[in-house]
């Protein structure tokens, strides 16, 4: 793979991973509402789900190219519905730490990634746009998807860190911030369905 292509792949990955998406926004919202300690199960769920989804993307690109468009079309609408539910949940959430363990569960973070169309599109686009023309073996595709998941995990950790930094501010202005976060999620849906 030429160095220019590898550089473009990494630039694409960093930009895509650090832009607001459902996982990053949920992580930010969780850490500002419940704090880092109570949010840890959700964060680990997001990270684990990210890796599993990227492994699935490698499998799809490698062996199931003919089924991929149909799968992505269905996932797009399921993902949009889930993200809409998440936006509504954020807007109407109360400033309370009751049930924090249930709200910030590993399963919630993990399952979010399975309907997070952004990371499917991210993984598939990165492989088909930058990698497959130079390397198409399953180990190579898997390696690049793990790179994508690692960059995504670093991005989510950055969003979590920002949440820790603004937690006191958030607690004073949580309603306005939640509305902004929900509107950002609605923009994610708009971008997904256009």
Q: What confidence tens digit (pLDDT) does each residue in 111-138 have? A: 888 888 888 888 888 888 788 878 888 9
**Predicted pLDDT of residue 98:** 46
Give the pLDDT score at 140. 93
Mean pLDDT of 18-43: 85
- If you search the block for the tokens 């832009």, which residue do you land on? 19
Q: What is Dmax (Cα atoms) for the chain?
A: 53
pLDDT band at 46 (very low <50, low <70, confident <90, very high): very high
Q: What are the tokens at 8?
A: 């473009």
More confident of the two residues 25 and 171: 25
Q: Report helix angle 174-193 to 117-126, nearest 10.
A: 50
Decide which of 113 and 66 is more confident. Answer: 113
- Cα torsion through 13, 47, 43, 29, rounded to 10: 30
pTM of the model: 0.73
Looking at residue 58, its pLDDT comes to 92
Q: What is the mean pLDDT of residues 83-96?
A: 73
Measured between alpha carbons, how far is 81 from 43 in angstroms, rounded to an integer? Answer: 21
């Amino acid at each position: 793979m030429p160095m220019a292509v590898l550089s473009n792949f990494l630039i694409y990955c960093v930009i895509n991973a650090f832009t607001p998406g459902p996982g990053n926004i949920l992580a930010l919202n969780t850490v500002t509402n419940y704090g880092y300690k109570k949010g840890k199960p959700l964060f680990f769920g997001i990270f684990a789900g990210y890796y599993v989804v990227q492994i699935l993307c490698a499998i799809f690109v490698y062996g199931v190219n003919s089924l991929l468009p149909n799968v992505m079309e269905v996932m797009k609408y399921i993902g949009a519905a889930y993200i809409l539910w998440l936006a509504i949940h954020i807007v109407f959430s109360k400033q309370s730490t009751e049930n924090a363990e249930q709200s910030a569960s590993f399963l919630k973070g993990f399952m979010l990634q399975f309907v997070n169309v952004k990371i499917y599109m991210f993984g598939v686009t990165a492989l088909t746009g930058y990698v497959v023309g130079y390397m198409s073996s399953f180990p190579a595709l898997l390696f690049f998807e793990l790179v994508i998941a690692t960059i995504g995990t670093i991005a989510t950790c950055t969003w979590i860190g920002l949440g820790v930094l603004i937690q006191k501010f958030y607690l004073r202005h949580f309603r306005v911030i939640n509305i902004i976060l929900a509107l950002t999620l609605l923009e994610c849906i708009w971008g997904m369905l256009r």
